[in-house]
Structure 1
């Protein structure tokens, strides 16, 4: 609550806008300056004739939409730097955890993961006015202190709450989510799917944005998730017990049908009372779902009884129905009063999921908190996690596949990573994950801060470590219980590579020709920033060349120099000094597809040209580049 006096006179214009909003809420719109009256619409409301105005279009508009589109298209100069000390099994794992602004990170991943991601799950901040924080232009001294305290981001933009009283309440939220979704579509495979958790404050706008970005025809559905079993008596009108998950495909025409694996509960209505050789069956509907006069024909039973059609007619034409009777897919009732359609269990490929997901099966917010409590004890460091069961079930919809990558660029406490590991443990899958999270500072009053977690990324990484250990222990215990411990071999990938968003590794100081002197020339003796490591350079090269960050990296020694090889012979990098002809002859034996050196790494200019020519002669398929 703000206890400070306003010390300003009443804003008459704002008062009048509020009055008009009571009578004509559709005439109040959002602009860059806040709430305004759409006078064209107001004129129309007060007229019985069509008022000429702007040309009407069916689309979602808001102040800042064009800037949001441009924001998505502007290239970034940043890069990712590996953080080995926070990683687990860095050299062998295929899982990725990235700290940094998700929009900047998505731009960096565009080439490396273009059309490679099967599933995206995101749980963006809901626009409730409290937990949604948006970026606003901000220019003030003391920037470093504000950044450290979480009040501004690394781009010197203010992180501000978004109260409903703000004139750009919806617009700010839309401007933040639009470019992120626009870039995320590029990562999806053609048959890939995105799941987006949202509440009822913005679900209507999010649906319109996704229709625009992914295409209305690629809308799969809206899952209603009943996230709590408790009724809240503090709501004014309705006790809200559900949220939503919008589901879109990149190309619905080639996306496989969603199916869950069948359970005993799904199969309980199947039996085989007549010893049908095709096995268990249940009766199905024989009526047409819509009124069809052409399907209204009589059937003659074996005893001569005439069976009249249902009100809408039969489900099939007369010829098709006769064939089904002959094949015994359709049988007559014992008293010959009607027909029975057989639906065989052997022909059911999984179970089509419903669009209402109950928390008893898919997890609740209470279960989500219990999962964190199991890992961290009573001092749970995160307030609003999603249950792993919810995300597990989403991944299970691709029931015929268990080797794909799941991306979450609002990863929070890393529930998605936890869910992927759990599901892999259950079905021996090889699903990978890429988590992206802005390192939002922990409030000093929270349990997270008291437990030593300075930001949300520290919570997420620690959760993955603890969840990994728990899953390992559970698998060992099960193997012992089943008497299989002597043969037990756990090959699951529990590791993750940590990367952190940072400025480019390359020097960004530029001078006009008249400004050059010996001092400035010395700066360019090495075009790499001070403090940047060989692994920093390797990561930036992988991103620039469009190589996935999950590829295996090996360090070799060739002619006394350190060489990094990525995915076998896909990329070789050597950043040592003294590169000469002798080294070129040795590395040419490896036949790398690409090879990168530092410009200052060559023994001299002559050696640089000779190395280039030698590689052409001895390894014609190698492409050489220089930093």
Structure 2
């Protein structure tokens, strides 16, 4: 019976396997330090395969490099022996929610999520430390080689020690920050769908370096834009007041993104204008002259800075909708070949006056427009007026997202203070901006990931979008339990969870029907559920062989084991979990029969119980070694399922 791996994927070996598909002669086998045989790259042969007129290597080439880059790549690829442990008491709607909140180091979290969410995340948004010299960054340990990394990473450690101040006096000021962000972006890219995108907030301190590192990780061809967010109208400075920051945008694969159509955002105020027009159509019917008069009067009474007033030129009406009589003339580019065909007035039957630059449309498209019901060309009272084309608001009520925008940053602080109290979280992100970005990039059932969750602005924004549109977007947030050093909230992660709870309460108290998922399933990163000796069996003396009767740590619950199994098998961590008692034993059913698990440790699993589980036709089934009545039952388990449920995959822990 196959055993679980009990650690995250070894990405180095995965990368070598991919390389072997392209250059099979460049991959060989070699012994690692622990004596096991693994794939290895023959770099001399690989250089020969890639050599042409120019051999890449010691020659100068264009790339971003810094002290520690190779070590950062090593830590991105190295496996870890950790797991996620559920925390029901800290969750909201644990059994039904599809949202996840993971407490722990985000590098570990990204590794643990590799198999389960590989290629499934539509949007990654992060607001990492800006490296201002005053904030904290993750201190990743590169002091050991990859042979020691697995054993070291299985130990329980204080997460609070993972953050250090990165002052400008540090000789590796930029290098340390780059070594921190590089492996996390590498792992995040794996989680993105082909049509997925990543948005990264940053300021001038590392914007240039971040752009170069993203070019390497995501490909320069997948750069979409660098958005400038003006957060204030004024600032203090002896030279230039910096009142902006950036949102850097890359996609996983630009061609895949474009297949789904262009990104568009609603024009501000357009929906309200169309709603007013719908009211007038309901009351005035097809009296389009009266509708136009009412629309003009309504626009006139709006304040000058009202976004709805920007659409005041949309005041004509026909049976198709509200439209603007737009210019029909061709551009003044000096071309004599512009279309100059006759257009007859529908009342007088005479040829209408032509613009000096000719028509925008050729004769064929003009005939098409005139043949529509109603026609898509607007005429004046007679032929002396140049016709115009009808531009309908409902057809152009969206626009590309601008690369520059203003949004006051102070409102976000007030929003957080209302939910968690004053003075707890400076400079949170504006959820209105995040909702716009989520609406721009994602669809109703997509997954949004934020592994620098902070106060939880991204989760808050996802809830707002779901409430507004009745969608089922879901979030995965990751936040390290950084100590606050104050009473009230022990860690930043506690602030995140408090905010998410309060947002849910606020939405619920509003009495909104179909407000969406306002819960989250809380998970915490911890050392593996397996006893430490599981990872170093050579250290076990013969006198201690009885320890292998059960190699699970004594403080771990069956639900802890379930989540480690879900991680290893790549099962979505947000799926429904139902517990049932069958023949006196606790059995977990994940998403119906997607996974069935029994972690009974009292040697009570017999063939009758196994046959009972097989009746459920599970896709996967999991048992605990120590739970079998005897070795004969364990041996027969696979045969029983082959007979009663042949498609079931069987494993034990």
TM-score when normalising by structure 1: 0.77
CA distance, structure 2, for counterparts of residue 500 and residue 196 of structure 1: 25
CA distance, structure 1, for counterparts of residue 111 and residue 186 of structure 2: 11
Aligned to 1:241: 243
Alignment of 1:496-507 (within 5 A): 496-507=520-531
Of 503, 506, 510, 1:474 maps to: 510
Of 567, 591, 598, 2:617 maps to: 591
Tell me if structure 1 keeps the 8 A contact 2:420–2:498.
no
- After superposition, give the CA deviation of every residue in 1:87-115 in whole Å (9 maximum; x if it has no partner): 12212211110011111111111111122
Tell me if structure 1 keeps the 8 A contact 2:324–2:392.
yes
Residue 606 (str. 1) matches residue 608 (str. 2) = no
From the superposition, tell whether residues 79 and 136 of structure 1 become closer, same or farther in structure 2 (CA, over 3 Å): closer
Aligned to 1:536: 560
Residue 355 (str. 1) matches residue 403 (str. 2) = yes
Alignment of 1:191-340 (within 5 A): 191-229=195-233, 231-232=234-235, 234-251=236-253, 252-261=257-266, 262-264=270-272, 265=307, 268-271=311-314, 273=316, 276-284=318-326, 293=335, 296=338, 307=354, 310=357, 320=365, 329-330=376-377, 336=384, 340=388
CA distance, structure 1, for counterparts of residue 639 and residue 178 of structure 2: 54
Structure 1 segments unaligned to the other structure (5+ residues): 1-52, 140-145, 154-158, 477-488
Of 76, 82, 88, 1:78 maps to: 82
From the superposition, tell whether residues 237 and 594 of structure 1 become closer, same or farther in structure 2 (CA, over 3 Å): same
Tell me if structure 1 keeps the 8 A contact 2:446–2:473.
yes
- After superposition, give the CA deviation of every residue in 1:537-583 in whole Å (9 maximum; x if it has no partner): 10000010001110000101111110011010011110113111121
CA distance, structure 2, for counterparts of residue 225 and residue 341 of structure 1: 36
Structure 2 segments unaligned to the other structure (5+ residues): 1-56, 144-155, 273-306, 345-349
CA distance, structure 1, for counterparts of residue 557 and residue 590 of structure 2: 17
Aligned to 1:156: none
DSSP 3-state at the match of 2:556: coil
User: How far apart are 1:320 and its partner, in Å?
Assistant: 4.7
User: How far apart are 1:248 and its partner, in Å?
Assistant: 2.1
CA distance, structure 1, for counterparts of residue 119 and residue 159 of structure 2: 38
CA distance, structure 1, for counterparts of residue 490 and residue 315 of structure 2: 62
From the superposition, tell whether residues 249 and 515 of structure 1 become closer, same or farther in structure 2 (CA, over 3 Å): closer
DSSP 3-state at the match of 1:600: helix
Aligned to 2:519: 495
Aligned to 2:39: none
Aligned to 1:485: none
User: How far apart are 1:505 and its partner, in Å?
Assistant: 1.1
From the superposition, tell whether residues 148 and 218 of structure 1 become closer, same or farther in structure 2 (CA, over 3 Å): closer
Tell me if structure 2 keeps the 8 A contact 1:407–1:435.
yes
CA-based RMSD: 3.1
Tell me if structure 2 keeps the 8 A contact 1:223–1:245.
yes
Aligned to 1:621: 647
Aligned to 2:123: 119
Matched residue count: 533
CA distance, structure 2, for counterparts of residue 187 and residue 100 of structure 1: 18
DSSP 3-state at the match of 1:397: helix
- After superposition, give the CA deviation of every residue in 1:481-538 in whole Å (9 maximum; x if it has no partner): xxxxxxxx556322211111111111232667696322x2122221112211111110
Of 593, 597, 615, 1:573 maps to: 597
CA distance, structure 1, for counterparts of residue 420 and residue 648 of structure 2: 50
CA distance, structure 2, for counterparts of residue 188 and residue 81 of structure 1: 24
DSSP 3-state at the match of 1:253: helix
Aligned to 2:101: 97
DSSP 3-state at the match of 2:241: coil
From the superposition, tell whether residues 515 and 386 of structure 1 become closer, same or farther in structure 2 (CA, over 3 Å): closer
CA distance, structure 1, for counterparts of residue 115 and residue 529 of structure 2: 19
DSSP 3-state at the match of 1:263: helix
CA distance, structure 1, for counterparts of residue 263 and residue 425 of structure 2: 32
- After superposition, give the CA deviation of every residue in 1:189-217 in whole Å (9 maximum; x if it has no partner): 22222221111222222222222222233
After alignment, is 589-598 or 295-304 more displaced?
Answer: 295-304
User: How far apart are 1:258 and its partner, in Å?
Assistant: 2.0
DSSP 3-state at the match of 1:440: coil
- After superposition, give the CA deviation of every residue in 1:382-429 in whole Å (9 maximum; x if it has no partner): 122112111111122258x32222111100011111121222222222
Residue 370 (str. 1) matches residue 401 (str. 2) = no
